[in-house]
Amino acid sequence: MEALLFQMRALSPIPGPSPGCRDVRRRGYLIERITPVGVTEGLSERALRIIEGRNFAHLATLMPDGSPHVTPVWIDREEEVLLVNTAEGRVKHRNVLRDPRVAISITDQEDPYERIILRGRVVEVTGEGAEEHIDHLSRKYTGRSFQRIPGQKRVIIRIELTRVSS
């Protein structure tokens, strides 16, 4: 059973952690590297590859009672800021307006053992550029423009990262 719970593989070669980073190892294998954002010079190549791929992210926000709300989302980035596009008034939109703390998990669809886990704070929710952005995301994930719902207003949620675990 333990082998199933901790099925892992060695990542090679891996340089030592940057200052401020912490490696988590089990039986000599690197399980994850925890990087406080701002300590290093940006996201790792691996993290960028996963974020920029056609990989679905799972965004966790906090409900009014403190319980988590998790939803699959399309993900994008501008430098070190992650972007999520949603319809105004959805649960995730209401949650981040009330409490900006979020967590995001992204798994590489080509290799489900490759993943990154991110924490951050919503620094902006804006409708500016949101219609164009949802078209960009739709082309990335589906290959075609987004099918609009009449009367629906789109917003971009900008997330500043505070922690990256890969």
Distance (Å, whole) CA 84 – CA 159: 8
Distance (Å, whole) CA 97 – CA 62: 10
Domain count of the chain?
1
Q: What is the mean pLDDT of residues 99-128?
A: 96
Phi, psi (degrees; rounded to nearest 5) at 110: -80, -30
pTM of the entire predicted model = 0.76
Question: Does pLDDT of 157 surpass 60?
Answer: yes
* 68 three-state secondary structure: strand
Neighbours of 48 (CB within 10 A): 13
Strands 81-87 and 101-107 turn out to be: unpaired
Q: Is residue 95 part of a domain?
A: yes
Q: Is residue 71 part of a domain?
A: yes
Range of the domain at 86: 34-165
Do the beta carbons of residue 130 and residue 155 sit within 8 Å? yes
Q: Is residue 93 part of a domain?
A: yes
Question: Does pLDDT of 4 surpass 50?
Answer: no
